[in-house]
Amino acid sequence: MRGIARNRIFLLVFTTLLLVTVILLSSLPGSPLHFLTSPVSAVLEPVQKTLLGVTDQVTGFFESLREGMRIRKENLALREENAALRSQIDQLAEAGRQYEALKEAFALKDQYAGYTIVGARVLTREIGQWFDVFRIDVGTADGFSVTETRSYAVVDAQSRLIGRVLSTDLVSGKVLPLIHEGFSVSAKVDTPDGPLMRLRGTLELKDQGLCLADQIPSAASLMPGDVLVTSGAGGLFPAGIPIGTVVSVRTADTSSERQAVIQPFAGFDQLTTVFVMKGAQP
* Positions that interact with other proteins (CB under 8 A): 4, 8, 11-12, 15-16, 19-23, 26-27, 33-34, 36-37, 40-41, 44, 47-48, 51-52, 55, 59, 123-135, 166, 174, 176, 180-182, 184, 200, 202-204, 207, 269
Least distance to other proteins, CB of residue 271, Å: 12
Q: How many CB atoms lie within 10 A of CB 198?
A: 15
Nearer to other proteins, 23 or 76 (CB): 23
The distance of closest approach from Cβ of residue 167 to other proteins in the complex, given in angstroms and rounded to an integer, is 8
Nearer to other proteins, 115 or 268 (CB): 268
> Which residues does 197 contact at the CB level (< 8 Å), separation at least 6?
186, 187, 188, 213, 214, 215, 216, 217, 220, 222, 228, 260
**Residue number, 115 or 175, with CB nearest to other proteins:** 175
Nearer Cβ to other proteins, position 75 or 251? 251
Cβ 223 to other proteins shortest distance, Å: 25
Query: By C-alpha distance, which of 118, 119, 126, 122 is closest to 49?
Result: 122
CB of residue 83 to other proteins, shortest distance in Å: 36
Nearer to other proteins, 132 or 190 (CB): 132
Q: Between 164 and 226, whose beta carbon lies closer to other proteins?
A: 164
Nearer residue to other proteins within complex by CB, 150 or 198: 198
Beta carbon of residue 59, minimum distance to other proteins (angstroms, whole number)? 6
CB of 49 to other proteins, least distance (A): 11
Residue 85: CB minimum distance to other proteins, A: 33
